Amino acid sequence: MIRTSLRYHRPATPEESTAILVEYAGDVVVLGGGTMILPMMHRAEVEAGHIVDLRGLGLATVTEEGRYVRIGAMVTYGDLLDSDVVAREAPLLRRMAGAITGGNQLRNLATAGGAACYGNPSSDVPAVLVALGATMCLHGPAGERRVPAAEFFVDAFRTAVGGGEFLMWMEVPRLVVEVGYHKLKLCEGSGPIVTAAVVRDGGRTIATVGAASVTPLRFDLTSCVDSGVDTVDELIRDGVVNPWTDVLADGRYRRDVAGAVVRRAVADLREG
Amino acid sequence: MDPIGSAAPARTIALRVNGVELTTPIEDRELLVDVVRKRLRQTGTHVGCYNGDCGVCTISLNGKIIKSCLILAASADGGDITTIEGFSGGEELDDIQQAFWDEDGFQCGFCLPGMLFAARDLLERNPEPSEADIRQAISGNICRCTGYVNIVRSVHTAAQRRTS
C-alpha cells in the first residue's frame, strides 16, 4: 500500500498529460511500466500527490518509420521480444530485452522508455540507446522536443527530461551496422555490472560502455581493433573517470572489468 | 495534498476475475495485488517483497503474466485477470499443477502460485524446454525451501506428459 494520498490520472492526449504535469509540478510523477516508481512509492522513497499513467496515449507500439524504428514509451521488454520489426531491424534491442532480469512477469510490465527516463546508471537501456544512435522524442509545454540519446543521460538518475515533459517515443535507426554485445552480471537476478555494445559502421568501430560510469561512455576502438585488441583495457580504464558505485559493485571493480567486457563484445561482433 | 483516510482519491474499476465480470471500489493508491487479496479475497495470490523480485504475486492480466505488486489497480481497469484460484478452470488440478504434486515441486507452497504461472507461460511458448530454459523461465520467482530441483523436475515432467 502506498501510504500517502495519491490521485490517478490517465490522460488521453499528450497535451492533457503535459497540462497535468505542469499543474501539479513538484507533486506529480509519470507512470510508465511502474516497476521502479511503484516500489519506491510503496517504500515512501518517492512521495507524490498525483500520478500520470501514460497508458491512454497509444504509446505501446513498435512501428517502422522510414529510416528508423519507432518504439513507444509504453513498449515493454516483452513487446520488444515479441516484435518481428525489432528482431529484424534492431536485434540489439531484442537481445537487451531478453537479458533483463525479473522473469517474463517483469518484462511484461517494465518498459525500455521508463528505464531510460529513470536514468539508473546500472541499467541495460541507456548504453544500448546511445550505441544505436537513438533519438528521444519528448512532449512538453513547448510541444515536441527531440534529444539525441548521447545527450539525454545527464548524470546518475538525471536525464534531459524537463518540467512538464515526458517521453513519447524513441527513434532507433534501422540496422545498417554490425553489432556485438556483452553484459556482465553477478547472477541471473542481478542488474548489470558493466555492459558493452560495439558497433561497426563503415570503417569505424565504436564501443558504448554502460553501468561502469554515471552515464554511458563512448570509445573509438577503430585503431585498437585494426591493430589487435591488446590496448583496449588501458583505453577503457583511463576513460572511466567517474565510475559508478552502487549495491551491486564498487566503482573501482567496474572500471577494472570494463575493458574485459568490451573485449568480449568485440569478440561477439567478430563471431557475428 | 489530500489527507490520508476516507478522503483519499478513489474510484470504481471493472475487472473480469477468473471468468467473472465484476466491479470493485478501489483507492487510486492501491496496488493490484492488494485489491486482488483484500477486496476480491483471492488470497491464493501471495505477497512477498513488494519490489518485483520474488514473483509470488504473479497473476495473468489480459493473457500475460505480470507481478501484481508492480501495477496500480487503477491501471488494470477493464482488464481480464486470472489468479491461482482460476488457474485450472475448475476444481481439479490442471496438468502442470498435477506434475508439481507428483514431483513434490513445493514445500511450504508460498512461491507455488507464481511458479505455476511462470511454468505455464514457458510451456505455451516452448513445449519442449531444456533444463536451462526452465531455470530461465522461473528466474523471476524465488523459492526459499526447495533449492529449485524438484520445481525444475515438475516443469520438465509437465512438458514430457504434454508431448508424449
* CATH number of the domain encompassing residue A144: 3.30.465.10
Best residue in A104, A118, A186 to probe B by mutation, most B CBs within 10 Å? A104
Which residue shows C-alpha cell 499528450?
A: A14
- Domains along the sequence of chain B with CATH: 10-86 (3.10.20.30), 95-163 (1.10.150.120)
Partners of A51 on chain B (C-beta within 8 Å) are 28, 72
Q: Is residue A266 part of a domain?
A: yes
Distance from CA of B90 to the nearest CA of A (A): 24
Tens of pLDDT, residue by residue over B43-87, are: 999 999 999 999 999 999 999 999 999 999 999 999 999 999 999
Distance from CA of A169 to the nearest CA of B (A): 20
Mean pLDDT of B4-17: 86
Distance, CA of A263 to CA of A253 (rounded, Å): 16
> What is the span of the domain harbouring residue A42?
7-56
Write down the ipTM of this complex.
0.94
Mean pLDDT of A106-114: 98
* pLDDT, chain A, mean: 94
Pair (A76, A142) in one structural domain: yes
Give the percent of chain B with pLDDT over 90. Answer: 95
Distance from CA of B156 to the nearest CA of A (A): 18
Helix axes B95-102, B112-125, angle to 10 degrees: 120
A18-21, long-range: CB < 8 A, 24+ apart: A18/A139, A18/A140, A18/A141, A18/A164, A18/A165, A18/A166, A20/A50, A20/A52, A21/A52, A21/A163, A21/A164, A21/A165, A21/A166
Is residue B4 predicted with pLDDT exceeding 80?
no
Pair (A68, A49) in one structural domain: no
Contact B140 A102 (CB under 8 A): yes
Partners of A7 on chain B (C-beta within 8 Å) are 2, 9, 28
Distance from CA of B140 to the nearest CA of A (A): 4
The band of B141, judged by pLDDT with boundaries at 50, 70 and 90, is very high
Tens of pLDDT, residue by residue over A23-39, are: 999 999 999 999 999 99
With a CB cutoff of 8 Å and minimum separation 6, the contacts of B65 are A104, A105, A108, B58, B59, B117, B118, B120, B121
Partners of A35 on chain B (C-beta within 8 Å) are 52, 67, 70
Q: Is residue A1 part of a domain?
A: no
With a CB cutoff of 8 Å and minimum separation 6, the contacts of A99 are A124, A183, A185
Partners of B8 on chain A (C-beta within 8 Å) are 5-6
Tens of pLDDT, residue by residue over A187-235, are: 888 889 999 999 998 889 999 999 999 999 999 998 877 766 578 899 9
Pair (A52, A67) in one structural domain: no
Q: Where are the alpha helices (DSSP H) in chain A?
A: 14-23, 37-42, 77-82, 84-89, 91-98, 104-107, 112-118, 125-131, 149-152, 222-226, 232-239, 251-271
Pair (A192, A249) in one structural domain: yes
Mean pLDDT of A161-165: 97
What is the domain count for chain A? 3
Q: How many CB atoms lie within 10 A of CB A66?
A: 8
Pair (A226, A255) in one structural domain: yes
